[in-house]
Structure 1
Amino acid sequence: MTGTRPRFVLTICAGSFLLFLVQPMIARMALPRLGGAPAVWNSAMLVFQALLLAGYAYAHWLSRFPARRQALIHLGLFLLSAIFLPIGLVAGAPPADVNPALWVPWLLGMSIGPLFFIVAAQAPLLQRWFTATGAGDPYPLYAASNLGSFVGLLAYPLLVEPLLSLKLQSIGWSLGYGLLFFLVYLSARCLPAEDALLERDIAAAGPPPDWPTMLHWMALAAVPSGLMLATSLYLTTDIVAMPLLWVLPLGLYLLSFSIGFSTRRGPVNMLTLLAPLVLLIGACTAFPSGVRFPIVISVGILSVLFVVAIVLHGLLYDRRPSPAYLTRFYLIMSFGGMLGGLFCALLAPLIFNWTFEYPILLAAAALLLPQRAALLKGGAQLWADPGRRVWAAGAMLVMGLVLSLLGAGLLTPEPPSDLVKAACFVLIIAMALLAIGQRIAFAGLALYLMLCLGGWEKLAQAVTPGMLTRSYFGVYGVTNKGVDQRILFHGTTLHGMQNLRPGHERDPTSYYAPKSGVGLLLRHAGDMFGASARVGVVGLGAGTLACYKQAGQAWRFYEIDPDMVAIARNPQDFSFLSRCQPNADVALGDARMVLAGEPANGADILVIDAFSSDSIPMHLLTREAMAIYGRRLAPDGVLMIHISNRYLDLRPVIAAAARNGGWQARLRDYRPDERDKALLFTGSVWVALSRDRARIAQLERLSGAGLWTELPARPGFSPWTDDHASILPILKFKL
């Protein structure tokens, strides 16, 4: 039938576009209600993966019926699911004692489950229908499916979120669902009355795929899926915590399907030849020790993901079965992708205290690379004889292990010289190049290369009690810098610092220096609010601010991560709390949700310190969040917000919120001189807000002349709300 392929391509693209548009949309809708805990979003991600797998299983089940009956059933369920439109969250708030791991799946499942389930079935089901029309090979249509997903993924943060409120987003998606129903109906009209073609394909297909084949499909799908998630976490934890960076790994992952499943095999074949070299480059950056060129390294790491995903997905395409087993193929693929996600999202945080899943998946990718000829002539001669192949591979693996240990300084009493390190590195690289084409030997040498270049050191840190801590909120490290400093870091972000010189252990440091915005306020809290001032602090960190407490004051901290509380309370890590507030009152949970449930007028000072990391919890800066802070504060109370950030200029956000909520605002941009830097003070930007003009004037007077300035506003910038907010207008690019 004329126009069959374009019709199916358009329908599949539209379905995938809607599928990847709804995921960030529903997550954005749920943010104010569920809070910003990463554990919540891990649960949400698993819901999406489970619904995708269910949709593929439904398509596989439906394929047993004649094609036109499939269309009738699917279109009927399509209409039935429309009763859940317009898309949005069901009413209700989580009970106080419910486990989020149970509540989040229930909420999202009830809100979008039927709609997501039906749309998720589009890609495999319509490929099955396309086979029934006899219009050609259905598998390249999967490339179109992932192209639609890629466009949907980019469209949300770049176009939909900045331009549309959540209400308009919901209406727009619902209209798109109606358009998709019409496109599916048009595709169904192409189906023949008889399934003679499918029956002939089944007869010619032979026996169904065996278990080894299906397990291979599963592995080829699981490793790129896991590597995509591991790359996202690895980049934002250890390289550069840039907002929206998560879009790039997921986008490249989706794009790799479009290339890997394309009928043009030239790019896949070329990248298959280059993949071992690219993996060796990736192995060199798997365990960073300091990052001097974060953008360049990020591009390299993303390139490794892209090449590996294209090659493994291309191998999946090459190993595809007859169209008679198409839906089974996609069901196994979906299950493999979910396994990769489960490993990185749930299992790895439980068993590792650093992002070790990234180098593990690089080694797994090396094992799965397609078989190819040796790269070097010497390698071809070495591996030609089967008997020699075994002992040569064994000898290389033993030598690689010894060289990695020697290069890391584990075989000598003194640290190795730079010359020894370089020699070990070069020899491992040389053996890895010789081993190209021999999967086990090559994967082992790639692993030894990673261990030689920082891997053994990271493993030593991992087994040292208290040095590395990992939770669903990130990977934290506690280490000494010289003999008089102890620092708390999260990847490339400093979260706290303590002066270890005798007599200076209580001194506020880093962003919380006495002349910083928060330091000026807390030093004068008694003068402003009396001896019984009530202070709330959102974000515990190392507990540095605790030492500003004065006798008679009532303090309360709000912290989302129990592991951070454990670090702050452990005097072997940091002693701010044990020295200054040994019985500190700490409320665990998302600060906005906790504050919303507390009595009004219960604080004189409220410090919001959730923005020193470069990825911010957006729901803590909306108009509704500011109203919660205002309700909690006394009428003349002071709200202090920390907005230091390498990639976001939060001043317009706070200025717009202040104007909208009737707050008086002042900015303190503290830049320490050399003397202050010697005291471990670092630069910081704070904003003080109060609905009482006299209180702000009092803070300025007590601080000293010229320290506070007007908070600049950006003309036309609207305040963030729970219904509409975007970080694109406040991004600042910085290498």
Structure 2
Amino acid sequence: MNWIDGSPGTHKGKVSGHLSRSWWSFRFVARITIRPQHTSSADEHLSTDKTVRESLPFHVRRGYIAAFPQWIRTNMFRYAVTIFISAFLLFQVQPLIGRFILPWFGGGPSIWTSCMLFFQILLLGGYLYAHLISVKLKPRTQVLTHLSLLAMSLVFLPIAPSDAWKPVADQSPLLQILLLLLVTVGGPYFMLSSTGPLMQKWFSQSSPGQSPWRLYALSNIGSLLALLSYPFVFEPWLALRQQVWSWSAVYGAYVVLATWCGIRYLQQQRIAATNSLSPAESLDSASPLEDAPAMRPRMGTMLLWLGLAACSSAMLLATTNQLCIDVATVPFLWVLPLSLYLISFIICFDSPQWYDRRAYGLLLLACTPVACWLISEGADVNISKQVAIYATILFACCMTCHGELVSCKPHARYLTLFYVLISAGGALGGVFVAIVAPYTFHGYWEYHIGLVACCVVTLLAWCAQRIWLRTPSPGFWIWALITAANVALVAYYVYLPLDDVLNATDETIAFGVYGLLQFVGLIMTGVLEQRWKALIALWSILSAVLCAWFIGYGTWQFAGMISTTIRTVIIASAIVSPLVASACLWCSQKINQRWPHAPCLRYYLLGTLYSLVASVFAGLLHFDKIEDWQAVSFATTTGAALLMEWSARGFRGKDKASLGFWFWLPAITLILFLSNRLAVIVKLESLVDDHKQTVHMSRNFYGVLRVQQEASEKDDDFISPKYSLTHGQIKHGFQFIDEYWKTQPTTYYGRESGVGIAIQMSRERETENGKRPLRVGVIGLGTGTLAAYGELGDTFRFYDINPDVAKLSDKFFTYLHDSPAKTEVVIGDARIMMEREIAAGQSQQFDVLAIDAFSSDAIPVHLLTSECGDIYRQHLKPGGILAVHISNRFLDLNPVSRGLAEHLGWNAYQIENSQNSLTGVFSSTWILLTADEELGADAAFQKSVTPWKDDAQILHWTDDYSGLWQVLSL
């Protein structure tokens, strides 16, 4: 025993110091692993260490402790590096391969959703594989099986998909994407997905007493780093082929590291066997920490894991869809939601203390009315607001779901089972968004359902843990109430007066940072809630920072708009808030001393006050969204819940635990209010009134199409009734029903528009050279409005990837049928179809080629790259005109169009036209690209041209890189 204790002896010098560090390391591990949930005293820790130490047999203590530091250090480094690299590769390949196949399938948001579905399903397969081999197979068989599959996965390298997988128009795009990904990255991704749970299992067995949960957090950090580095480092600086080869090389290094881990794991198993352990025992059986009783998770708990993971996954994909529908399908808008999803995992799994369900529950409560407002407003909201609000809502949902997952995580013995169910839930969420929703719903309603589901499953998790039995802290709820009051004041006296005059980006930054600081204050209040003096100092500092932020940023960006009233409200709230909070805290302390046995009543009343203030805040911002019956219902429910709580205590006895009526009954009421509001929003999409009626609504892989019949708003209105087509949230055209007006080009394609001028100028040129029919190509069918320019003998050839659009032309829109010209419709991605036509020697020799392939309000990026420009040039006759439609709310595509012209060596002309309500013409912006010098010299044409800005930049987009940041119109 002297040798182990480090007392003087033969091995005193180096060995004694080595073993002394060993014992302290073991004490630290024992403290972390077996200490109770609540912090105990130092004496209790020492007693625990002594008990664990003396419970080990002598030969185990001697052999195990002597080797413990070396094993722990080597194992931790080896497994940490392997898991980190595997996680990095796992999430780096997702945007990489998605970016690779994006141009093949039309560039829509469903492509990324389909990729995510594949990755989630394969992740589930990898986790299930790791669980089965770690439970069913012996260590030697585990290692041999895993190393064999690793060697086989090298056959998939490099992971670049073959051009033979480019889609055929009559095949299901979802099935094609899944098969393509399976044969391209299936093997490597499967092995990478199994690495985390399997390596953590091996680590927990070869390093007794060491918690594997930090390795899980490390894997999430690697995943996050991969996601953030792709759009900002790898995509801008490396070509796609270089990205593929780099990824493949690092994967080879990962295989070597995983092999090293497997071999060392087997060696450690042999060491355990030589330390007088029976063959059936492993390293973890030699540890009293692993021998502690572990209750198998109940079915209800496992279903809760599944539900929490599924809801967060569904919200991730639904949020990504919402962002990509109206902007562009680019890696950055894929990466942002997924990064927030991973950050929530990192925060929650790093340590349970980072998740405060009170703060994140209140954040989720505050986000729900804002979500309803954003969904109802749709594309009318500025992109910066959309991104900020959607990101906040997603983060709140993921934090509550993942935080509750961690709060009910199992013993390390059931680690792989836990991971399998988490990944199964993620796959279920992906199946719902990528398969069930597009083929079941007529609109993008998965976001609505996912939001409600997150609230429901979070409430179920809280009820399962009976959180109402925990003694509440007055400090947190006092500051929450003060925060709600402050937010209400700022909303009424600052936000509403400035909402219509502020720049959207400045508004988002000013109030976004304000909200973030308030939320950080809530989090810190939860951390310091037992230290009242620290709380008062925190509140004072936070109030001063909030005041300084508003006045400082306002003076810098919009000084003339900060009135005396606004300054007074901001300064007064900064002074009064900490004083009122401190007084309430003092009163709460006195009440605790006077009525120490009634905490539920006190905090229920405080929570009710908070709900009332939150309702007032929601009413100030969205007063038309809150109805009288909702306010009455909530007041009735809260009163009934309190009455039921008192009655239950009277019948069951005061010594019985509360049934939580006061908690879950009002919560259910609020969830029902949310469901009702979202249902109303869904009904509005099928609006039927005196002036507008939805006559058709459909959804497929490429988006949501809605046809509405719009009548004249006034009886004497000159405008004829019409059919309109909406894709997503953007109107893409309409056709009048009147016999004359139904043949006239409208919306973005009027005669004064850029494309209208291009067709008319081409016809005049051909007339001068001898009458020759025109050949016009159009990428994007829509309502087929451009066919109205057709004359006898002309050919108008339309390309559209969505087969449902062509069906609408036969049923509601008659531009193609009524046109004297010959009309052709090619179904499939325009770029691929035109490539195949060139390969077959079928250059179309268009006089005009119009690029109008909008998906909602976003144009597919792959149709504006330099490589695609080369395809356009081969389909245009010499001197032909390429017309690019760049009207957009969020993206300034002017620099990209000029870059395309520079690449082709052509001239570029910008043509803008104003709106004409009498003829149904919208304002629009077109860029005309042509090599014809005579067109630019034409005096009539020059009158229509809008001069370029002096500081206008030129951008070159390629298939390898297209930077969204450079063209965002904030």
Distance in 1, Cα, partners of 2:635 & 2:803: 46
Aligned-partner SS, 2:211: coil
1:257 matched to which residue of 2?
Answer: 345
Q: Does the 8 Å CA contact 1:5/1:135 hold for their aligned counterparts?
A: no
Are 2:393 and 1:304 aligned?
yes
Distance in 2, Cα, partners of 1:443 & 1:668: 56
Distance in 2, Cα, partners of 1:197 & 1:437: 49
Distance in 2, Cα, partners of 1:50 & 1:209: 24
1:410 matched to which residue of 2?
Answer: none
| C-alpha distance 539-333 of structure 1, shift in aligned 2 (>3 A) | same
Distance in 2, Cα, partners of 1:208 & 1:487: 59
1:162 matched to which residue of 2?
Answer: 236
1:86 matched to which residue of 2?
Answer: 158
| C-alpha distance 649-67 of structure 1, shift in aligned 2 (>3 A) | farther
Are 2:686 and 1:461 aligned?
yes
Are 2:562 and 1:324 aligned?
no
1:505 to 726, 735, 742: 742
1:90 deviation in Å?
Answer: 3.5
1:625 deviation in Å?
Answer: 1.7
Distance in 1, Cα, partners of 2:341 & 2:820: 48
2:849 matched to which residue of 1?
Answer: 606
2:454 matched to which residue of 1?
Answer: 365
1:196 matched to which residue of 2?
Answer: 282
2:733 matched to which residue of 1?
Answer: 496
2:307 to 219, 222, 230: 219
Aligned-partner SS, 2:921: coil
Aligned-partner SS, 2:355: helix
1:703 matched to which residue of 2?
Answer: 941
1:654 matched to which residue of 2?
Answer: 897
Letter in 2 for 1:604: D
1:330 deviation in Å?
Answer: 0.9
1:560 to 797, 801, 805: 801
1:401 matched to which residue of 2?
Answer: none
2:90 matched to which residue of 1?
Answer: 19
1:423 matched to which residue of 2?
Answer: 628
1:535 matched to which residue of 2?
Answer: 776
2:962 matched to which residue of 1?
Answer: 726
1:139 deviation in Å?
Answer: 2.3
Distance in 2, Cα, partners of 1:501 & 1:544: 15
1:104 matched to which residue of 2?
Answer: 177
Higher relative CO (Cα under 8 Å, sequence separation at least 6) belongs to: 1
| C-alpha distance 512-218 of structure 1, shift in aligned 2 (>3 A) | same
Letter in 2 for 1:593: I
Q: Does the 8 Å CA contact 1:275/1:311 hold for their aligned counterparts?
A: no
Q: TM-score, normalised by structure 2?
A: 0.65
| C-alpha distance 169-236 of structure 1, shift in aligned 2 (>3 A) | closer
Aligned-partner SS, 1:245: helix
Distance in 2, Cα, partners of 1:558 & 1:223: 38
Aligned-partner SS, 1:610: coil
Are 2:441 and 1:352 aligned?
yes
| C-alpha distance 532-430 of structure 1, shift in aligned 2 (>3 A) | farther
Residue by residue, what CA displacement relative to the aligned partner does 1:687-714 show, whole Å, maximum 9, x if unpaired? Answer: 22234444x447x455354526579997
1:399 matched to which residue of 2?
Answer: none
Distance in 1, Cα, partners of 2:625 & 2:401: 36
1:121 to 194, 199, 210: 194
Q: Does the 8 Å CA contact 1:531/1:551 hold for their aligned counterparts?
A: no
Q: Does the 8 Å CA contact 2:913/2:923 hold for their aligned counterparts?
A: yes
2:423 matched to which residue of 1?
Answer: 334
Letter in 1 for 2:888: N
1:138 matched to which residue of 2?
Answer: 212
Distance in 2, Cα, partners of 1:487 & 1:167: 43
Are 2:927 and 1:687 aligned?
yes
Residue by residue, what CA displacement relative to the aligned partner does 1:264-293 show, whole Å, maximum 9, x if unpaired? Answer: 424334435425623543564374146456
1:219 deviation in Å?
Answer: 0.9
Residue by residue, what CA displacement relative to the aligned partner does 1:229-270 show, whole Å, maximum 9, x if unpaired? Answer: 1222234448x7696434322221111111121224243344
Aligned-partner SS, 1:355: coil
Higher mean alpha-carbon deviation, 509-518 vs 435-444, is at 435-444
Distance in 2, Cα, partners of 1:251 & 1:426: 38
Higher mean alpha-carbon deviation, 308-317 vs 618-627, is at 618-627
| C-alpha distance 234-541 of structure 1, shift in aligned 2 (>3 A) | same
Residue by residue, what CA displacement relative to the aligned partner does 1:359-395 show, whole Å, maximum 9, x if unpaired? Answer: 22222222222233399999966999xxxxxxxxxxx
Aligned-partner SS, 1:639: strand
Q: Does the 8 Å CA contact 2:445/2:682 hold for their aligned counterparts?
A: no
Q: Which has the higher helix share?
A: 2
Q: Does the 8 Å CA contact 1:666/1:709 hold for their aligned counterparts?
A: no
Residue by residue, what CA displacement relative to the aligned partner does 1:319-368 show, whole Å, maximum 9, x if unpaired? Answer: 22222221121111111110111101111111111222222222222222
> CA-atom RMSD, angstroms?
3.8
1:62 deviation in Å?
Answer: 2.3
Aligned-partner SS, 1:80: helix
Structure 1 unaligned residues grouped into runs of 5+: 385-406, 408-416
Letter in 1 for 2:764: D
Distance in 2, Cα, partners of 1:730 & 1:558: 29
Letter in 1 for 2:628: A
Are 2:676 and 1:451 aligned?
yes
1:642 matched to which residue of 2?
Answer: 885
| C-alpha distance 536-63 of structure 1, shift in aligned 2 (>3 A) | same
Aligned-partner SS, 2:892: coil
| C-alpha distance 16-614 of structure 1, shift in aligned 2 (>3 A) | farther
Residue by residue, what CA displacement relative to the aligned partner does 1:194-229 show, whole Å, maximum 9, x if unpaired? Answer: 462444677645564343332221111101101111
Distance in 1, Cα, partners of 2:636 & 2:699: 35
Distance in 1, Cα, partners of 2:373 & 2:705: 20
1:537 deviation in Å?
Answer: 0.7
Which residues in structure 2 correspond to 1:47-58 (within 5 Å)? 47-58=118-129
| C-alpha distance 616-727 of structure 1, shift in aligned 2 (>3 A) | farther
Residue by residue, what CA displacement relative to the aligned partner does 1:124-151 show, whole Å, maximum 9, x if unpaired? Answer: 1121122112252212322222222122
Distance in 1, Cα, partners of 2:345 & 2:757: 55
1:538 deviation in Å?
Answer: 0.7
Residue by residue, what CA displacement relative to the aligned partner does 1:655-693 show, whole Å, maximum 9, x if unpaired? Answer: 33333334x2222231417xx355443332222223444
Residue by residue, what CA displacement relative to the aligned partner does 1:394-429 show, whole Å, maximum 9, x if unpaired? Answer: xxxxxxxxxxxxx9xxxxxxxxx9889543343455
2:908 to 666, 686, 694: 666
Structure 2 unaligned residues grouped into runs of 5+: 1-71, 273-280, 479-597, 605-618, 642-660, 714-718
Distance in 2, Cα, partners of 1:17 & 1:685: 42
Letter in 2 for 1:363: V
Q: Does the 8 Å CA contact 1:665/1:711 hold for their aligned counterparts?
A: no
1:164 deviation in Å?
Answer: 0.8
1:644 deviation in Å?
Answer: 2.4
1:5 deviation in Å?
Answer: 3.5
Higher mean alpha-carbon deviation, 533-542 vs 294-303, is at 294-303
1:469 deviation in Å?
Answer: 3.0
Aligned-partner SS, 1:720: coil
Letter in 1 for 2:457: L
Q: TM-score, normalised by structure 1?
A: 0.84
Q: Does the 8 Å CA contact 2:747/2:920 hold for their aligned counterparts?
A: yes
> Which of the pair has more CA radius of gyration?
2
Aligned-partner SS, 1:475: strand
Letter in 2 for 1:29: F
Higher mean alpha-carbon deviation, 110-119 vs 95-104, is at 95-104
Residue by residue, what CA displacement relative to the aligned partner does 1:441-480 show, whole Å, maximum 9, x if unpaired? Answer: 6345423344247726626717975353322222233443
Residue by residue, what CA displacement relative to the aligned partner does 1:610-658 show, whole Å, maximum 9, x if unpaired? Answer: 2585433222222332222222222332221212233333333333333
| C-alpha distance 32-289 of structure 1, shift in aligned 2 (>3 A) | closer
Letter in 1 for 2:201: R
Distance in 2, Cα, partners of 1:432 & 1:667: 64
Aligned-partner SS, 1:524: helix
